[in-house]
Amino acid sequence: MRSGWFVLTAALVLASGCGPLPSVAPSPSATTFVVPRPTEQPITRNPLARASFAHPALAPELQSVFELVYRARTLPLGGHFDVDGLRGLVDGAYADYTLPLFDREVRDAQAGILQQVSFSGIAVSNVEEVLGFVACPPSCSAFASVTRTRVEVRAGAAPTRETATYKFALRRDLVGADGVSWVVYDFVNPATGGWISKPPPISDAQATAELKPFFAEFYAARSLSPENPLDLRRSANLVAGSYYHYTMPLLEQTRAEADSGALRDVRYADLSVKLMSWDPAATNHGGLAMVDVTRTSLVTRAGGPEPPQTATYRFRVHRHSDQNGPDWLAVDFLRPDLNRWVTDLAGATVIVPLAGHG
């Protein structure tokens, strides 16, 4: 049976939370961020000074955290970055994203290309949401918008100055008896408004590429031969919603015909799949595609083979993803005899069942 369902939405593209990096050549795809291999190094989480886990003070604590973050990113003239300090303040997707960028700055500084980096005007504002901030041991989460001005000096170039605002997600952990440790674990790409922890959106081309093997399996599950009886469980795992209630009784009838000997063989050939539309954000747990599928059915009954029948049918197919990868379910079907969706005929109010219906 299929695994449980998990939420899958939003976009993931490259944006720097630490200002421009003029010496770094652009990547082949400036709009796509690929998470690198995590750095396997010991990390020290230091308790925040003058902070009590039992007595949270959100605004001053977050102000202190980001002052520490930008202090670690500061390069004094003739000095060096605080690499270990920054590693102790980041985690998760944000660590995977920002530490490789920071390593490039470190290398530029060691080579004498990057000579000085400073930050000023660090201001934490618009603390939009706190998730169980008080009653949440041993950890809590918060979101914060941070504005800062970054000045950079590189060899042979005039200083650059940039003021920008970024949104971060942070986790507040209990350390020891009553200490507080904050880490930044996610970051909003200002170009798209999406968290970097979210996977990239599914394109039309990718949806089409995934739908072709789905419908190959869909029709293979509906095929019948003397060596391979009809497997209704396999078909049931590929459908949901109103279409499940429409198609499964028909497949039961097909199996009954096969058991009686009236139906001998069902095969499908010349399968083609055409994506008509794709909405990756159709639900909060996956997208919805409308697909035209053309296939030729080859049926043999007790009296002999029937003439081949080539037809095109329209489906709505829902995509979700779990720990095993992407998954699709046919959830609606346009009945060609009535030119109406089975969801409408059933009087259903939603096409895609709620999350957890797998």
Tokens of 327: 């998954």
- Per residue in 188-216, pLDDT (tens digit) is 988 777 888 887 788 999 999 999 999 99
Give the 3-state secondary structure of residue 205.
helix
Q: Is the CB of residue 126 less than 8 Å from the CB of residue 144?
A: yes
Confidence bin at 111 (pLDDT 50/70/90): very high
First to last CA, the chain: 8
Nearest residue to 120 via CA among 188, 19, 22, 45:
19
- Per residue in 2-43, pLDDT (tens digit) is 333 322 222 222 233 333 333 333 333 334 444 444 445 667
Confidence bin at 73 (pLDDT 50/70/90): very high
Instruction: Tell me the C-alpha distance between 282 and 347, whole Å.
Output: 20
Residues in the chain: 358
Find the range with the poorest average confidence among 198-202, 216-220, 231-235, 317-321: 198-202
- Side chain identity at 271, as an amino acid letter? L
Q: Is the CB of residue 160 less than 8 Å from the CB of residue 20?
A: yes
CATH numbers and ranges of domains, the chain: 1-200 (3.10.450), 204-345 (3.10.450.100)
More confident of the two residues 43 and 298: 298
For the segment 333-344, the average pLDDT, to the nearest whole number, is 97
The Cβ-side half-sphere exposure at 129, using a 13 Å CA radius, reads: 8
In the chain, DSSP finds a helix count (H) and a strand count (E) of 7, 12
Q: What share of the chain is helix, strand, coil (3-state, %, to 5)?
A: 25, 35, 40
145 CB-contact burial (10 Å; exposed 0-12 / middle 13-18 / buried 19+): middle
The values of phi and psi at residue 170, to 5°, are -130, 155
For the segment 46-56, the average pLDDT, to the nearest whole number, is 90
Q: Is the CB of residue 10 less than 8 Å from the CB of residue 201?
A: yes
Average pLDDT for the chain: 85
Query: What per-residue confidence (pLDDT) applies to 198?
Result: 82
pTM value is 0.56
Query: What per-residue confidence (pLDDT) applies to 37?
Result: 47
Give the 3-state secondary structure of residue 107.
helix
Q: Is the CB of residue 10 less than 8 Å from the CB of residue 284?
A: no
